[in-house]
Amino acid sequence: MRKNAASRSLHELYREDPDKADRRLFGRVAHPDRRGFLKGAGLAAMAALVGGTIPFHRNMSAHFIPVALADEPVIQGKDGLVVLNDRPLSAETPAHLLDDAITPTERHFIRNNGIPPQTVDASSWTLTIDGLVETPLTLGIADLKRRFDVVTRALTLECAGNGRAFFDPPAGGAQWTYGAVACSEWTGVRLADVLKAAGLKSDALYTAHEGADTHPSGAASGLPISRGVPIAKALDPDSLIAFAQNGRPIHPMNGAPLRLVFPGWPGSCSQKWLTRVWLRDRVHDGAKMTGTSYRVPGRPLAPGERLDETEFVIIEAMPVKSLITHPATGHRAAARALEVRGHAWAGERTIDAVRLSIDFGATWSGATLDEPVNAHAWQNWRAAVEFPGPGYYEVWARATDSEGVSQPHAVAWNPKGYLNNAMHRVAVTVV
Ligand SMILES: Nc1nc2c(c(=O)[nH]1)N[C@H]1C(S)=C(S)[C@@H](COP(=O)(O)O)O[C@H]1N2
Ligand SMILES: [Mo]
């Protein structure tokens, strides 16, 4: 069915005020888990929108919008992603679709905080480097390629909110499960080389990143997100200004034509649609740098406990984590022998070991672990698992990093649901 203004406004209505939308369609505010009893004017409106009667409307739940109206953007060039939010767009990749050693572009998650630029022209795109530098620079993509070493690196990028869906009490925001992580091959120039060319002043302490996306409210001013990193991270040879993803121009939703990639740190540092890197003499205080954004309590909290924002600290390197990418959870195995595989990564560290359990953590056995293809790339692992007989099993994976830190069974609660690196578990039934 063709989308029309009415169906769009229905989505907007639900987005802005679900209770109001319910009142309009269902005649009252209904609990999302309960039946909505669509009737009267609401039923007529909904039927008009889907272009037919709705015989089973009595079974429709409140807060439901008929899928015929689904406004899920068709994300061209992506495959199998699950859309968690449509505006701004957040879409994750089911774990079993992240099985490739290097994440293909169509399987790279999307996390937008605002509205991406509508039209981008790589040939006229410019990046400005200014602030605490001797010589401010404005560079086109051709200038970057001509003036600096071009490098290609497989780099792990994970949203700090990956795993947020499992916090209790729940944390607001995109309900990522496992799939806000990827390790694609990025081609670009080292941010360090560009900063050297500009000449860092001695009081430069932190970067500040700007992109061409706009605020979701549609307000003309104000960036949806502008984060930064300490100079030491900016100077890491794997901190890239990238113009290609997996050997092709960057996907529009992953930041075309130019983005930063700071592997191993919260994905939010890696500004997409990059237009400016500004050097500052203080910790950057742009959008989503302050308060509880990408910051965690400076001490452990009880679930649901409140803490003053001044006691939150900025997330830097991401913690040790692993993902089981084969089999998919729910797998039914006809044979007792099964290959289990996946990836493991640990911020600025490497992985020393991945261990698996099929008996709820009572015993563990090691997986075969590959070296990273380069620093800051996730490590692939695999193991031959032998189940003792028919029945329900869970395969648990637990990675240990180069400092001896292992993934926990459960993570400390924090109000925004960051840094959930608890072990991944998949269900396997041997028949
Ligand atoms: N300009 C801009 N850059 C951005 C964002 C954004 O909304 N706007 N989102 C950030 C966040 S929170 C993450 S996790 C990563 C996600 O990168 P991806 O969408 O390419 O997977 O981009 C980061 N860079
Ligand atoms: Mo993120």
Residue range 177-217, pLDDT digits in tens: 999 999 999 999 999 999 999 999 999 999 999 999 999 87
* Per-residue model confidence (pLDDT) at position 220: 63
What is the distance between the alpha carbons of residues 195 and 139, in angstroms, rounded to a whole number? 12
What is the distance between the alpha carbons of residues 286 and 233, in angstroms, rounded to a whole number? 18
> Does 100 score more than 70 pLDDT?
yes
- Contact status, residue 283 vs residue 207, Cβ threshold 8 Å: no
* Per-residue model confidence (pLDDT) at position 3: 41
418 lines ligand 1 (CB under 6 A): no
* Per-residue model confidence (pLDDT) at position 34: 46
Structure tokens at 115: 């509205």
* Per-residue model confidence (pLDDT) at position 408: 97
- Contact status, residue 398 vs residue 322, Cβ threshold 8 Å: yes
What Rg value do the Cα atoms of the chain yield, rounded? 23
What is the distance between the alpha carbons of residues 171 and 417, in angstroms, rounded to a whole number? 5
In this structure, which residue's CA is closest to atom 15 in ligand 1?
267
Written as one letter, the residue type at 146 is R
What is the distance between the alpha carbons of residues 148 and 206, in angstroms, rounded to a whole number? 22
- Contact status, residue 279 vs residue 202, Cβ threshold 8 Å: no
Question: Can you give the three-state secondary structure of 209-260, one letter per residue?
Answer: EEECCECCCCCCCCCCCCCCCEHHHHCCCCCEEEEEECCEECCHHHCCCCEE
What is the distance between the alpha carbons of residues 143 and 241, in angstroms, rounded to a whole number? 12
Question: pLDDT tens-digit profile of 3-44?
Answer: 444 555 566 666 667 667 766 666 655 554 444 566 676 777
Ligand 1 centre and the CA of 106: distance in Å? 16
148 lines ligand 1 (CB under 6 A): no
Judged by average pLDDT, the poorest of 69-83, 225-239, 260-274, 340-354 is 69-83
- Contact status, residue 254 vs residue 245, Cβ threshold 8 Å: yes
Ligand 1 centre and the CA of 323: distance in Å? 21
Q: Which parts of 290-418 are beta strand (E)?
A: 295-297, 312-314, 321-326, 331-333, 337-345, 351-357, 365-366, 368-369, 379-386, 391-401
* Per-residue model confidence (pLDDT) at position 62: 62
254 lines ligand 1 (CB under 6 A): yes
What is the distance between the alpha carbons of residues 209 and 240, in angstroms, rounded to a whole number? 13
108 lines ligand 1 (CB under 6 A): yes
116 lines ligand 1 (CB under 6 A): no
Place 316 in a pLDDT band, splitting at 50, 70 and 90: very high
Ligand 2 centre and the CA of 297: distance in Å? 18
112 lines ligand 1 (CB under 6 A): yes
What is the distance between the alpha carbons of residues 119 and 212, in angstroms, rounded to a whole number? 10
213 lines ligand 1 (CB under 6 A): yes
C-alpha distance across the termini of the chain, in Å = 42
Fold of 321-430: Immunoglobulin-like (2.60.40)
Average pLDDT for residues 376-385, to the nearest whole number?
A: 98
Ligand 1 centre and the CA of 140: distance in Å? 21
* Per-residue model confidence (pLDDT) at position 53: 80
Question: Can you give the three-state secondary structure of 134-152, one letter per residue?
Answer: CCCEEEEHHHHHHHCCCEE
Place 250 in a pLDDT band, splitting at 50, 70 and 90: very high
Average pLDDT for residues 393-404, to the nearest whole number?
A: 98
184 lines ligand 1 (CB under 6 A): no
Q: Which ligand places an atom closest to the C-alpha of 90?
A: 1
| Domain locations along the chain | 1-76, 126-314, 321-430
The CATH architecture one would assign to domain 126-314 is Alpha-Beta Complex (3.90)
* pTM for the whole structure: 0.85
Ligand 2 centre and the CA of 164: distance in Å? 11
Burial 236-248 (b: 16+ CB within 10 A, else e): bebbbbbbbbbee
* Per-residue model confidence (pLDDT) at position 427: 97
* Per-residue model confidence (pLDDT) at position 43: 76
* Per-residue model confidence (pLDDT) at position 55: 82
> Does 340 score more than 50 pLDDT?
yes
268 lines ligand 1 (CB under 6 A): yes
Ligand 1 centre and the CA of 10: distance in Å? 27
Place 47 in a pLDDT band, splitting at 50, 70 and 90: confident
Tell me the torsion sign for CA atoms 323, 325, 329, 334.
negative
> Does 364 score more than 50 pLDDT?
yes
Average pLDDT for residues 308-333, to the nearest whole number?
A: 97
- Contact status, residue 86 vs residue 7, Cβ threshold 8 Å: no
What is the distance between the alpha carbons of residues 327 and 397, in angstroms, rounded to a whole number? 12
Ligand 1 centre and the CA of 112: distance in Å? 5
319 lines ligand 1 (CB under 6 A): no
Ligand 2 centre and the CA of 108: distance in Å? 13
What share of the chain in percent tops pLDDT 90? Answer: 79
414 lines ligand 1 (CB under 6 A): no
Place of tokens 């120039």: 189
> Does 70 score more than 60 pLDDT?
no
Average pLDDT for residues 164-185, to the nearest whole number?
A: 96
> Does 404 score more than 60 pLDDT?
yes
* Per-residue model confidence (pLDDT) at position 421: 98
* Per-residue model confidence (pLDDT) at position 71: 52
